[in-house]
Chains A and B, each alone.
Chain A
Amino acid sequence: MTAVSPPSRRASAFFFRKPKLRLGILLSAPLLWLGLAYLGALAALFITAFWSTDVFTGKVVTDWSFDNFVTLFTDSVYRTITLRTVGIALLVTVIDAVIAFPMAFAMAKLASPKAQRILVIAVMTPLWASYLVKAYAWRTLLSGNGAISWLLSPFGLSGPGYGVAATVITLSYLWLPYMILPIYAGLERLPDSLVDASGDLGARSFRTFRSVILPLAFPAIVAGSIFTFSLSLGDYIAVKIVGGTSQMLGNVVYDNIGAANNLPFAATVAIVPVVIMLVYLAVVRRTGALNNL
């Protein structure tokens, strides 16, 4: 081969011999974007949390202090809201796990391959039907003359109305597909032979569930819980739509950016879910859940 190769070919050969350079080029743009735009913004948020707002001009004052954190931890209003938010997020996660597991199990282990695909699409479709539309649907369902009261009235019961219970119901509804899909994916990967073996060794259904299926499906459940928990922690819109007068952390952040014009305090409050989520991610990392996302 003596012919001179075209430039594109020479370029190809050059990059082929330099895998590190190829990797560097591939990583550069995503890392610049996420590293600068996202991590940079998160770092800036953390710094802003130590600043304050001038009472008269409304401008951010760049004097360092722990005042915002002191307010957050000592004011009983914020303590109550933090505990309520974490409580709601935990409750929503547990409710979703309990509802999603049998559904995912039936999808992964009982349905035929063709039915499986249809069922997955059926779970994903409402996932993309606008968040607001679904929250709004619950507002009409839960209203005084809505479908829930209509369903319950023959039993002499009334609906929960707007409040914490309505918030939990709405959030559980909104995030349910985020729990079903990872559990389904996890169970689908779980070999039937293990379940059969457990049965052959004399285990009854419950024992097989507890000793074989649950431990193997656990990372998938945790993967789902990352979404249900995180999305609930930061929500403020569902609360505004069906929550009545109760508030969550997200509302405090939102009100401090908008009406109160106190960005530093909003930043301080926003750090709470970040810290909770980072601790949560660090803990669940060992279960291998992050590979199930």
Chain B
Amino acid sequence: MNAVVGRGKCAKAAVGASKMVQAAEHKGCRTSSNSGQASCGSRAGQADLPTEIWEKVKSHPCYSEEAHHHYARMHVAVAPACNIQCNYCNRKYDCANESRPGVVSEKLTPEQAVKKALAVAATIPQMTVLGIAGPGDPLANPEKTFKTFELVAKAAPDIKLCLSTNGLSLPDYVDVIAKSKVDHVTITINMIDPEIGAKIYPWIFFNHRRYTGLDAARVLADRQLLGLEMLSERGILCKVNSVMIPHINDGHLVEVNKAVKSRGAFLHNIMPLISAPEYGTVFGLNGQRGPTAQELKALQDACEGEMNMMRHCRQCRADAVGLLGEDRSAEFTTDRVMKMDVKYDLEMRKAYQDRVEDERAAKAAASKEELGELAGAASEISLLVAVATKGSGLINEHFGHAREFQVYELSTSGTKFVGHRRVDVYCQGGDGEKDRLSTIIRGINDCHAVFVAKIGGSPKSNLIKAGIEPVDQYAHELFEKSVISWFRSYLDRVKSGEIQHVKRGDASIRQKAVISAA
């Protein structure tokens, strides 16, 4: 801390962070205290949230797990500069077909970003959120970032604005953020202990100099937590992203969870490290592995009692466009956008979004009904299932076409969304179906069943051999309702002795970037 004392007002603000901790200790998500469950978290619905919070999150795909099946987001890459270096990031690498944070194919000026936003809004009426997430840090590019927000708010007032930052400059811009009508801010916080931070961040650039080691991590952690407190005080919804890095911060993230919860964070998103040597990151090159599916789930479960967890993050590009599971950025390159004759039609967008709301209401009612029938059953069994979907809450994807599977945990208390598993990684190469199948099986190996619209004979028998039941009789039906119905029959089959319930093993999470929509 001594290293920064006296270096202007920013440094003093950093020192002040620890004093504010106590004041903020009892704030936080006001809806979660009474039930003991994650009541306002990523899964929360209208009934669980205060009206003003529900209005903010109901159509934000990142802040509401339910909304992400229906609403799309776009990131505009207007912020290329960064002020810190992370060991999981290498800004030099870019590929148009690749999806991971920090990557873009072309950077935009604020004027180009607005044109693009209007083009996307006209083409994808369910696009409700525009975020600035880099590829650097939005607050290391304040002029471009806030100019973009100003222009978008003027041109398309119904689009929600959000930004994602590393938090280093956040305390300096909280008031500007509040004035810019930014509803949601995501801060990436990977540690609160500088000893751990020093293993993740080689340096930061702050107050006109470069800090390294413990000094860097200390300043960063103080600034992040101070920024979070300041946003909470102003009623801006905050999500905290944390990258889970086995043997570095995995155990520590429970502490981070408590710290951010006490400072009013709305949602905590623990993401697996993406680490492959070819991206040239420090972690990739030194063999640092990412977590397995069950390691990630265990940590998310451990934090859930403390706070609301986001489990549907796709770790998308800084210029992603579309629903969270898809990326349509290739349709909206600057060349194409500049040639488009864009007509922003607020009425059309509103009519479309009203239809989406009707669809959501119908889906929620159907799941509730099926859940009611499950209530009579009593069983200790809890298991995971995978669902292939293209969206709208339906089992509507062919097994062989699925780029990812949604994973749900089933028990007699209902369904719980656990996460998604990407299965379309590069490494399949040209070796065809057999490799692809084994990639999928590795990705959903902890599941008892996989729900698909259709599946071929060969993958079907291979899945059964691997101990995963392929289920295609609920094709094109609502998946929450379907998995509960299947689970009821599963429990019946176990009860009658027809099948035996056995525990599944672990599954792997992609270590490589995923390819974009074909």
- The answer to whether A and B assemble together is no
| Chain B residues with a Cβ under 8 A of chain A | none
